Chains A and B, each alone.
Chain A
Amino acid sequence: MRRLIATLSTAIAMSFGIVTLWGLLAGGGVVTSLANILLQLVLLTVAVSILIGIINLFGVHFGRIRYREGNWGYSIIVILTAALVIALWLFNADDANMILLENAQVAVESALAGLVLFALVFGAYRLMRRRVTWGGILFTVSLLIILIGALPLRETAFIADARAWLLAVPVSAGARGILLGIALATIVTGVRVLIGQDRSYRESENI
């Protein structure tokens, strides 16, 4: 039975993938319409997965409260807040939801954004403290040039030129290199899914 399910899921993944790819390449006709239907199916799946997410959220936090796990008090706040937001949504109280979002979520995220700066500065300091490598030195020197070069001072004008060159040539080249690597790996992973080599959706390792 497991073998049958694995074969079926592989066949579905392969055929859906090939139809979608063909639909994108063809740019019209029956296959494109079929590909669009499949993409709409994805939206439905996303909606179902949000429901799974909500069940997961409540399940995890009720479990934390039940077994009195560390800082379980916060789980009560999470459950109450989630229930409040769902209730507001059910009663179409969008204004109240927006107030919650603007007064709580945005304020908290703004405060955290301030903390990111300190975490980054400490991280750069720790990079050299942990181990001095050529890569680390290059990283720190580049970071200093970028930061000092951004200062609006006449005395640091030559560093501003070095900063502009750094950003235009080595940084841009490095970024493109990383993005090309990711693109290549994405294509290889995509082809592996299309030919049924990927095992994520299978039931067993050996099938």
Chain B
Amino acid sequence: MDTTTQFITVIILCLTLLTVVQGALVARRRKDAFPLRPIAAYDAIPYMVGTAIEADRPVHVSLANTGLGGSNTLLTLASAEMFYQTALRADSSLLTASDPTVLPLTYNLLRRAYVQRDREDRFSGSRIRWYPSGTQSLAFAAALTATLGDERVSGSILLGSFGAEMALVLEAAHRKKQGSIASSVDLQGQAVAYAMAGETLIGEEMFVAGAYLSDNAAQRGAVVALDTLRWLLIFGIVIFTLVAIFEPVKNALFGGG
């Protein structure tokens, strides 16, 4: 890594650290200072969970092939938070994943959710399913379509790195009249999710489940930090664009030489 990249990385990390800490402090002190903008997918989750409880069916969360230890580690942690929040609310949850590294994490989260609700006796390891397969695997998608029927799930939340094969899962969910919320870090998968899912999370929205579904100040602080960084980025892009076009525009208007 060259010195410039190191310098920029350190600056970005320091800036992020500052905004995350400050965001958490502000969110803790004044809860309504930064109201969260409504996201339809998060608004739909309580409804999906309520429907599942009434029908005595599980809510299905799939993390696809995201796992710990690779480039998707942080996405996995964010998706796992979504699973935890769903498990906290739903009477029965089902998780599917193709990367085995998420198994210990999700076992712990599911057990913790049951402990939190004083229903540890209902914890069952079989609610976590490992379907071994490769990256963006059609076999994994096929396994999910079967699971939706066999387990009679009420709704599915698909997160992670799905590709076009997500269409098979969402199509199966639609045929079985099951709700669906989907998102993918892969752009093909994101387009499929937008077209076919009941609700969609786009880009950074899938990282903020904790803030939207819990009342945790630190999680809300992370959203404040994310928004602050986004505005800084927009500001930076505008400034650099103006700098880049200043010379050509000046030459065009006043004549260059």
A113 within 8 A of B: yes
In the complex, which residues 175-217 of chain B have their Cβ closer than 8 Å to any Cβ of chain A? 185, 187, 190, 192, 194-196, 202-204, 206-208, 210
Q: Considering only CB atoms, which chain A residue lies closest to B218 in the complex? A: A197
Given A57-B130, A182-B203, A191-B16, A116:B165 Cβ within 8 A: yes
Contact check, B187 vs A198: say whether CB atoms are below 8 A apart: no
Query: Could you tell me the distance in whole angstroms from the C-beta of A196 to the nearest C-beta in chain B?
Result: 10
Contact check, A193 vs B204: say whether CB atoms are below 8 A apart: no
Binary per-residue interface labels of chain B (3-35) against chain A in the complex, 1 for a CB within 8 Å, 0 otherwise: 000100110110011011100100000000000
Contact check, A195 vs B21: say whether CB atoms are below 8 A apart: yes
A156 within 8 A of B: no
Q: Which of B19, B130, B152, B196 touches A123 (beta carbons < 8 Å)? A: B196
Contact check, B101 vs A193: say whether CB atoms are below 8 A apart: no
User: Once the chains are docked, how many angstroms separate the CA of A5 from the CA of B102?
Assistant: 20
User: Once the chains are docked, how many angstroms separate the CA of A203 from the CA of B51?
Assistant: 29
Contact check, B103 vs A116: say whether CB atoms are below 8 A apart: no
Q: Which of B81, B126, B187 touches A175 (beta carbons < 8 Å)? A: B187
Chain A: interface size category? 35 or more
Q: Which of A53, A109, A189 touches B100 (beta carbons < 8 Å)? A: A53
A93 within 8 A of B: no
Query: Could you tell me the distance in whole angstroms from the C-beta of B189 to the nearest C-beta in chain A?
Result: 11
User: Once the chains are docked, how many angstroms separate the CA of A105 from the CA of B137?
Assistant: 11
Given A182-B203, A187-B12, A204-B112, A119:B69 Cβ within 8 A: no
User: Once the chains are docked, how many angstroms separate the CA of A185 from the CA of B78?
Assistant: 10
Q: Which of A27, A63, A109, A116 touches B1 (beta carbons < 8 Å)? A: A27
Q: Considering only CB atoms, which chain A residue lies closest to B138 in the complex? A: A112
User: Once the chains are docked, how many angstroms separate the CA of A139 from the CA of B200?
Assistant: 14
Please, which residues of chain A bring their CB within 8 A of the CB of B207? Answer: 182, 185-186, 188-189
Query: How many residues on chain B are close to A (CB under 8 Å)?
Result: 75
Contact check, A116 vs B195: say whether CB atoms are below 8 A apart: no
In the complex, which residues 111-147 of chain B have their Cβ closer than 8 Å to any Cβ of chain A? 112, 115-116, 125-126, 128-130, 132, 137-139, 141-142, 146
A91 within 8 A of B: no
Query: Could you tell me the distance in whole angstroms from the C-beta of B255 to the nearest C-beta in chain A?
Result: 29
Please, which residues of chain A bring their CB within 8 A of the CB of B10? Answer: 25
In the complex, which residues 134-179 of chain B have their Cβ closer than 8 Å to any Cβ of chain A? 137-139, 141-142, 146, 149-152, 164-165, 167-168, 170-171, 174
Given A56-B125, A56-B130, A119-B167, A184:B222 Cβ within 8 A: no
Given A59-B125, A59-B126, A186-B75, A126:B196 Cβ within 8 A: yes
Contact check, B100 vs A200: say whether CB atoms are below 8 A apart: no
Label chain B's interface by main secondary structure.
Answer: helix
B53 within 8 A of A: no
Q: Considering only CB atoms, which chain B residue lies closest to A127 in the complex? A: B195
B109 within 8 A of A: yes
Q: Which of A42, A53, A127, A201 touches B103 (beta carbons < 8 Å)? A: A53
Contact check, B164 vs A195: say whether CB atoms are below 8 A apart: no
Please, which residues of chain A bring their CB within 8 A of the CB of B44? Answer: none
Q: Which of B68, B141, B146 touches A74 (beta carbons < 8 Å)? A: B146
Query: Could you tell me the distance in whole angstroms from the C-beta of B139 to the nearest C-beta in chain A?
Result: 6
User: Once the chains are docked, how many angstroms separate the CA of A200 from the CA of B82?
Assistant: 11
Interface centre among A42, A50, A123 (most CB of B within 10 A): A123
5 shortest A-B CB distances, which residue pairs? A53-B100, A181-B203, A185-B204, A185-B207, A123-B196
6 A-B contacts (beta carbon < 8 Å): A43-B69, A59-B125, A70-B150, A119-B171, A189-B77, A199-B210
Q: State the A residues within 8 Å of B (CB).
A: 21, 24-25, 27, 42-43, 45-46, 49-50, 52-53, 56-57, 59-60, 63, 69-71, 74, 105, 108-109, 112-113, 115-116, 119-120, 122-124, 126-127, 139, 175, 177-182, 184-195, 197-201, 203-205
Q: State the B residues within 8 Å of A (CB).
A: 1, 6, 9-10, 12-13, 16-17, 19-21, 24, 68-69, 74-75, 77-78, 80-81, 84, 100-101, 103-105, 108-109, 112, 115-116, 125-126, 128-130, 132, 137-139, 141-142, 146, 149-152, 164-165, 167-168, 170-171, 174, 185, 187, 190, 192, 194-196, 202-204, 206-208, 210, 218, 222, 225-226, 229-230, 233
